[in-house]
Amino acid sequence: MAARVGMRRLEDTFIPILRKCNTTKFLKRIHAQMEKLSLLQSNFLVTKMLEICDQSGEIDYANSLFTRVDDPNIFLYNTMIRAYTRNHMYLSSIALYQSMLRQLEISPDRFTYPFVIRSIGGIPDVYLGKQIHGHVSKFGLIDNSIVKNSVLDMYVKCDAMAEAHKVFDEMSERDVVSWNSLISGYMRLGQVRKARAMFDEMQSKSIVSWTAMISGYTRNGRFGEALEVFRAMQVAGVRPDWVSLVAALPACAQLGALELGRWIHFYAEREGFLNRIIVCNALIEMYTKCGGVGHALQLFGAMAERDVVSWSTVIAGLANHGRAREAIELFDEMQSVGVKPNEITFVGLLSACSHAGLVEEGLRYFHSMRSVYGVEPGVEHYGCVVDLLGRTGHVDRAVELIAGMRMRPDAAIWGSLLSACRSHRDLETGVVAAERLLELEPGDTGNLVLLANIYADLGKWGEVSRTRRAMRRTGTRKTPGCSLIEVDSVVEEFVAGDESKAVSGEVFRVLGVLALHQRKDLLDDVILLED
């Protein structure tokens, strides 16, 4: 009895010391003192030490402390499982849980399962997840809301949406976390209608719910709907946070919604979000894709801190607007300040060389990727160089480059070569490129149209007729042209031949008036010439 009281007093002495501990070096000094006093078998104190290791990422050190405890209790097990999970050591977390089950005196509790289940979602392994789901029911924890939300989220991360929805349907109380998990899962799998139906059914929507819809629409290429939800969120009185802004900006970039993008910039500045690199990077990308390169450069110059994404985005933006020399100068400056380029940087750099026709510089950068920068060229980089060589008339060199690729050429590469063959009237190579394209994208109308145009350019009208017959036989039609316009932060899309829009009648009336004015101007010019 006296020994236990003495041990408890020693533990009480070390508790405030451990609370003040904020470095591994300090923790190791405490460790040495505890070892001298034979305190390393204290579950309570070792649990506190593991929490410090977890916060500092010293998981190997935490594991060495844990394994030296002869009789770990549930609190010690839970703390180590949590440390493994939070540091993405999912297999170790699951293995420790299995080890705990073998200790007959210890049963998992409501603090055990959220981290074990999160580890399964991190692998992911739906079969193991179903086993753990069974364990949760066996130990009577299935009605715990946190545990049940963890099970639901695990199924979502394993793409097992039927199982996830079944768990959702069985919940007596569903909180916003439950709804958000399912919405995010459906969006990630491209099941947009199901996600929208659930979102509309929600009685209470959080900022996370709105953001899940915005980012989901953007991820699935439905940019107009993403911006509609973004506006609806504001109408509902929900103030955007920095995450929702980052979700909406790619949609602005894709639709050319510069007016809305500039409003987001103003709002982000007012709310203090520009101190986040990810927000600035998203704004820079929006500006470069909407034609506002000057605004992008201004924002880039004002950033207190820049990462490789910041530099790469501006380089790509300058390249896409034909400002190749500036892109190359920025690449040189990027290296001078010690930022290491990555594969995205080189896509922008090589694209700049392609747009400016800088063949030798482009090839030098391409060949230096692996040898100088340790970046393995990917299919995108080969595509940029093929485009560079094709634009400048080096079709033979482009063919040689494609033949030496370490990976299979994709449709973009064959498409670049086909365009080059048309520009430089290389029919033989163009036919080969077209055949490869048709193998990769048999349903793409543009490939057949481009091949027919090559034949027409060379006067091969028999081949043109044969290609057009193939198009009719497969039901292939040329993709109609379309255009986008932004008015009062609303983006409208107009497709050639589509008269279904409510404003179509008004648009055609205005076009008619413009045509009359044009005829009148032409008539006036004729009269002046006669005079």
User: Is residue 489's pLDDT more than 60?
Assistant: no
The pLDDT tens digits of the residues spanning 156-207 come to 999 999 999 999 999 988 899 999 999 999 999 999 999 999 999 999 999 9
Distance from C-alpha of 115 to C-alpha of 88, rounded to nearest angstrom:
11
The pLDDT tens digits of the residues spanning 271-306 come to 999 999 999 999 999 999 999 999 999 999 999 999
Residue 463 is encoded by which pair of tokens?
A: 């081949």
- Choose among 285, 300, 277, 296: nearest CA to 251: 285
- Phi first, then psi: what are they for 357, rounded to 5°? 70, 30
Q: What pLDDT, on a 0 to 100 scale, did the predictor assign at position 96? A: 96
- Choose among 483, 482, 503, 484: nearest CA to 257: 484
User: Is residue 493's pLDDT more than 80?
Assistant: no
User: Domain map of the chain by residue range?
Assistant: 189-305
Q: Which residues pair with 482 in a beta bridge?
A: 495
Q: Provide the 8-state DSSP code for 495.
A: E
Distance from C-alpha of 184 to C-alpha of 17, rounded to nearest angstrom:
43
Amino acid at 59: I
Q: Nearest-5° angle of CA 189, CA 192, CA 198?
A: 105
Half-sphere exposure (Cβ direction) of 344: Cα atoms closer than 13 Å: 11
Confidence of residue 31 (pLDDT cuts 50, 70, 90): confident
Share of residues in the chain with pLDDT > 90 (%): 66
Q: What is the pTM of this model?
A: 0.81
The pLDDT tens digits of the residues spanning 312-329 come to 999 999 999 999 999 999
